[in-house]
A and B are shown apart, each in its own frame.
Chain A
Amino acid sequence: MRLSTGTRIAALAAATALVASACSGGGDGDTGDGAEAAGPVELTFWTWAPNMEKVVDLWNADHPDVQVTVNKQDGGDPAVTKLLTAIKAGSGAPDIMQAEYQKIPQLVSADALADISGTLGDDVAGHFADGVWNAVTLGSDAVYAVPQDSGPMQFYYRADVFADLGIDVPTTWDEYAAAAATIHEKDPEMYLGTFSANDAGWFTGLTQQAGASWYGIDGDAWVVDVDSDATRKVAEYWGGLVEDGVIDNKPMYTPEWNAALNDGTQVGWLSAIWAPGVLAGNAADTAGSWEMAPMPQWDANAPATGTWGGSATGVTSQSEHPEQAAEFITWLNTDPAAVQALVDESGIYPADVPASTEALSDPPEFFSNQPDFYEVAAQTAGTVQPFTYGPNINVAFSAYNDEFAKATKAKKATAFVDAVEAMQRITLDDLKSSGFNVSE
């Protein structure tokens, strides 16, 4: 905040007086950073992964000099909002931050993440697939985070219902459309899936599979390519299914949708590797009836998939101990014991390739009927298509929410294509009006 020194001192004096005069207990609020030169280095860590504090306990036990405190956050978006506000304010940010891959360009653009390339070991990059590593370097020499988990997409379906209705697992999108029609015809209450206007990350993954990449870098200019043939193809396909009424048009993650998963009126879900946890929590009655298969394909000869979710751990630009913080995040995401703990405690699918093959062998409990679960997963993870996120992906995502909400309400395939065009226009206009170099 740009206050003159005089104002600032006056404000400080007034506030100090208030603090001194007001009664009440408080003051348990540890601001985290700013540890004294003596004593251990104190690091704060914003994350939303469940049970992360148990993983961190392992580190704290072995590293009395560097103590990490977990501050649990709401899912990805609110944490980013808070971090950006703290960065603007100049204080209040944690040392370490969990960030979804698509948020990294935005955070880097706001100067929220520190470049830790100088302190990382040379071997760290070797732990990760090229596409994933690219997401934390943004294709530059800098390194802004260490990948934590990834979310390759697969198709989850009610094997029992498919068997009852005599439907084969769809391997192409044409077969998926046919299966959706058959299921809805047999039981008008039942759907193979829903098109959710609330989940931009889900739609992004679907277009990624089809070969889209919404952003690109051309020299020192950004390219916005939301309205590509691949994206249009996906939008038109889903628009057609919604128009025909063979799949639902209600958002995911509503109580209604969760209930539909549980009571068997939603019998399929195009989701990602973390789906078993969600299904176990929201559709407990259906345990043992689900199976997982690779995504339906556009081209059966060239299997591909996208990602939904997945995140990395970065060091913020406000951290006073970037070296210790970088050391911690390297341990967290590449040390075999740490990765094993992440799998066991937080239930994530680690981005670290060598450690994950060690850590993941038995299928998740909810999928105990599918022994080859992680083999299929590893196979799909190898077909993730490259995708570049841009600095205003937040604008593109909120445009997705608004434009596709209109389209799903209209239930017209043409409205879905219109929504893609509107997203392109809104995203591009925002990038240009913010002053980014944009090449068209």
Chain B
Amino acid sequence: MTSPTTTAPARAGRPAVATATRTTGPSTSGRRRLAPWGFLAPAIVLFVLFLALPIAYAVYLSFRTEKVSGLGLGAGARTEVWAGLSNYASALGDPEFLASVGRVALYGLIVVPTMLGLALVFALLLDARRSRATTFSRTAIFLPYAVPAVISSLLWGFLYLPGVSPFYDVFDALGWDVPSLFEGDLVMFAVANIAVWGGTGFNMIVIYTALKAIPSELYEAAELDGASQVAVATRIKVPIVLPSIIMTSVFSMIATLQVFAEPTTLRPLSNAISTTWTPLMKVYRDAFTRGDLYSAAATSVIIAVATFVLSFGFLRLVQSRAFGQEK
């Protein structure tokens, strides 16, 4: 299988991977031929043990189910049997699952553009000559990356509470009606905000590093011609760092499909977040609350395949659009 992560830079006509794969010429000794396997051995052994085997086992479980006999009490009342595709059929036919997929799609449409848009704006401003306080801002915006999602959701969860939130004081002072973030559809924004908060800084650093690598001669000419900073940013800098933006989009999309920690932490605070609010929350509920590993495994396989198809499809799409002319 071709992984999206390798195709992007390669297809983008960048020599990054090409450099990495440059050969060292024909090897002369047998030891040399075995050497790469020696270097790879620890990674491969660990990968097989802790990723490949568990994945294979999860796939196996997705085709199994448990049958109970009689009252199901005491030893031996449960047996595992083949289930065929029935776990997949019931997952795909489950309205709760489909609703959670729709919710995550909407959530992704909010989070990914907002987070990357902010990251891009901040990165461009950090790189702009006329900005001040850049070291402080860069550090402050990157700081949330150091806060685990469980803890950041907890902090925001408190800040959303009417009794704690400073915004409610402001709203009150203005005499506005206070919308509760924990009721109705607003909860989507409550969750999205935590993700944007946690992820913007990291993506900003990725784009900023790419910006810093642009040789300044590339836009000094334009500046001498009187182009504004905004024009330099949008016409020259953004197109050059587009590959970085695309890769951060792909990884943000993958992370979005796997959103779990934020809504799970907020769930006890709100009536608006169900136990199946996102696909992974349904996996968790099935596996841990209901003890049905088999349905959970089938849903997981569906999520992994969908992630693969989506990220790969996205890369194909942007490559044909953005880099078509480079060939």
Q: Do chains A and B touch in the complex (CB under 8 A)?
A: yes
Q: How far is the CB of A11 from chain B (nearest CB, A)?
A: 6
Interface centre among A18, A140, A221, A434 (most CB of B within 10 A): A434
* A24 in the interface (beta carbon within 8 A): no
Are A198 and B73 closer than 8 Å at their CB atoms?
A: no
Q: Which residue of A lies closest to B285 (CB)?
A: A398
Residues of B within 8 A of A250 (CB): 182, 271
For chain A, which range describes its interface: under 10, 10 to 19, 20 to 34, or 35 or more residues?
Answer: 35 or more
Q: Which residue of B lies closest to A105 (CB)?
A: B73
Given contacts A14-B49, A18-B45, contact A405 B272 (CB under 8 A): yes
Are A220 and B161 closer than 8 Å at their CB atoms?
A: no
Q: Which residue of B lies closest to A399 (CB)?
A: B275
Contact of B291 among A84, A253, A408 (CB under 8 A): A84
Docked CA distance A221–B73 (Å)? 11
Residues of A within 8 A of B75 (CB): 111, 317
Docked CA distance A439–B285 (Å)? 27
* A61 in the interface (beta carbon within 8 A): no
Q: Which residue of B lies closest to A21 (CB)?
A: B42
Residues of A within 8 A of B48 (CB): 14
Are B271 and A436 closer than 8 Å at their CB atoms?
A: no
Docked CA distance A11–B96 (Å)? 38
- Type the 1/0 row for B157-193, where 1 means its CB is closer than 8 Å to any CB of A: 1100111100000000000000000111000000000
Are A405 and B71 closer than 8 Å at their CB atoms?
A: no
Are B158 and A255 closer than 8 Å at their CB atoms?
A: yes
Residues of A within 8 A of B73 (CB): 105, 108-109, 138, 140, 391
Docked CA distance A395–B295 (Å)? 14
Given A14-B48, A109-B68, A437-B69, 11 more A-B residue pairs with CB atoms under 8 Å apart are A15-B49, A81-B289, A109-B77, A217-B71, A222-B71, A250-B182, A251-B268, A256-B269, A397-B289, A398-B285, A401-B274
Q: Chain B interface (Cβ within 8 Å of chain A)?
A: 42, 45-46, 48-49, 53, 57, 66-78, 96, 157-158, 161-164, 182-184, 268-276, 285, 288-291, 293
Q: Pull 27 A–B residue pairs with CB atoms less than 8 Å apart, ordered by A.
A: A7-B53, A15-B49, A18-B45, A81-B288, A108-B74, A109-B72, A110-B78, A111-B74, A111-B75, A111-B78, A115-B74, A140-B73, A198-B268, A217-B71, A222-B71, A254-B269, A255-B161, A256-B269, A391-B72, A394-B290, A395-B289, A405-B271, A406-B274, A409-B183, A409-B271, A435-B67, A436-B70
Question: 5 closest pairs, A vs B, by CB?
Answer: A435-B67, A435-B68, A405-B271, A109-B72, A402-B274
